[in-house]
Amino acid sequence: MLRLIREIRDTGETQLVISSHLLRDVEECCEDVLILKDGRVAACCDLEAERRANRKFLQVETRGDDRAFAQAAEGLGCTCALIGQGRMRMVLPEAVEIRDLYRIAADRQIQIRRLDYKRDSLQDIFLRAMENDRGGP
């Protein structure tokens, strides 16, 4: 069924409306979503635009003293959570840029091995909509 939906979507000749609670399936074949809560619009968004707007959530892998790096990042106002040896999740405040993280890493002789923006899944967007109920378009 998903293959058929994608084929129809990709022709560009027809607009489809899909109603489903299977978020992974919706995420695979839809570009825009409308989330309902108690019969009202809780969120309406373009999935890719919503993900691009969330560019301050990072997953970072380091080599060196990851606790010192996390403490230094927290000194800049970041929120850090260590999730394993040399791995952490970070939330950057608006004033902090990626280059600031590289600077504090270099100052402490810590190597940033990997730095990825966390991409929100449709489930993340859905859960935020249920919490916020921010209304329609």
Residue pLDDT, tens place only, 119-137: 677 877 788 788 875 444 4
Residue 103 — pLDDT band, cuts 50, 70, 90? very high
* Parallel, antiparallel or unpaired: strands 79-84 and 111-117: unpaired
Is 126:41 a contact under the CB 8 Å cutoff? no
83-96: pLDDT as tens digits: 888 899 998 888 89
pLDDT in tens, 27-72: 888 888 999 988 899 888 888 777 666 667 889 999 999 999 999 9
pLDDT of 43 reads 86
| Confidence tier at 23 by pLDDT (50, 70, 90) | confident
- Two tokens, residue 97: 């840029």
Q: Give me the domains of the chain, ranges plus CATH numbers.
A: 2-51+120-132 (no CATH), 55-117 (3.30.70.600)
- Percent of the chain, pLDDT > 70? 91
Q: What is the pLDDT of residue 136?
A: 44
- 13-34 average pLDDT score: 88
